[in-house]
Amino acid sequence: MLIQTSSDVLLSIADDLLSRGDVAHASEKYYKAAEEAIKLLTINLGLKDILNIAKESGWDLATLHKAVTEICKKLNNEDIFEYWESAIVLLTVENLSLDVVKDEAENVRKLVKISDEIANRELDKRS
């Protein structure tokens, strides 16, 4: 069973915004897609320490960064750092060109794909 995650929806919205030339809002949606992917990975990988921190203090950038660090370790995949860095660029750098946003969005898309694959695998386990 395949599910469409909030990250997938946000990617679709971001793609639509970018196709209309709305770089700033597209960048925000791409970042949000990455953030949601990190949260979903944290849940599906059972990173209880991170979930407890998030429960106490919310999903701020420090908590998200800790989650990314733990996700990289758990999946033995350092590329996730690069994908997350792209999301941070989209969030924090102003006046990015359309081409730069497209390039950074590709890394966000890779992060969402990893998150989706794990979410679907976990869903299959429960079925």
Question: Under CATH, domain 6-126 is a member of which superfamily?
Answer: Nucleotidyltransferases  domain 2 (1.20.120.330)
Residue 87 has pLDDT above 90, yes or no: yes
Burial per residue of 91-108, b for 16 or more beta-carbon CB atoms within 10 angstroms, e otherwise = eeeeebeeebbeebbebb
* CA–CA gap between residue 87 and residue 31 (Å, rounded): 5
Residue 1 has pLDDT above 60, yes or no: no
pLDDT, tens only, 72-83: 999 999 999 999
- Statement: the pTM of the whole predicted model exceeds 0.85: yes
Q: What is the residue-averaged pLDDT of the chain?
A: 95
Residue 44 has pLDDT above 80, yes or no: yes
Residue with tokens 């994908």: 83
Q: Predicted confidence band at 127 (pLDDT cuts at 50, 70, 90)? A: low
